[in-house]
Amino acid sequence: MPQKLLFVCLGNICRSPSAEGIMNHLLQQEQLTHEYQCDSAGTSSYHIGASPDRRMAAAGLRQGIVLTGNSRQVEPEDFAEFDLILAMDRQNYRDLVAMNPDEQYADKIHMMCDFCSNFADKEVPDPYYGGPSGFDYVIDLLLDACSGLLDHLHKS
């Protein structure tokens, strides 16, 4: 049974679908797609059903990464279904903790940047209101974080 990873940001159109796409890309490169299953979701309902932001998708393609899927909101059953839930920023983390009031699944919720090895960032910045360089930066940051996450999963 594959280990299930859920990447979470606010609207599920920039950061979390990028993390999902990057992780799937790395898993394909390492021939580990049978060991892990990735998904992404948002803490808000702002963009339900939307495809990844076109600027984010373009930044991913510049690195050879294809972003797919449609935005969805985190659901209560996600906490039981997923083995790891990875928040892009502190507010996403706080929102996830609040959705899990009995703390039954607290050990599953982590900050994405905790797995970075080359970047010192503590949060994945939201590039939505910025220029193209912000989207490229998020892809680079998430490549680092996803690589670190994959290393962590292999050691555990």
Quick check: 56 and 18 in contact, CB under 8 A?
yes
Catalytic residue among 39, 89, 126, 136: 126
Catalytic residue among 9, 14, 113, 116: 9
**Exposed / middle / buried, residue 80 (Cβ in 10 Å: 0-12, 13-18, 19+):** exposed
Quick check: 3 and 84 in contact, CB under 8 A?
yes
Closest alpha carbon to 63 in 31, 30, 33, 22: 22
Q: Which residues contact 62 (CB under 8 A, 6 or more apart)?
A: 136, 139
Catalytic annotation present for 14: no
Catalytic residue among 14, 15, 95, 146: 15
Catalytic annotation present for 126: yes
Closest alpha carbon to 84 in 115, 69, 113, 105: 105
Catalytic annotation present for 95: no
Active site residues: 9, 15, 126
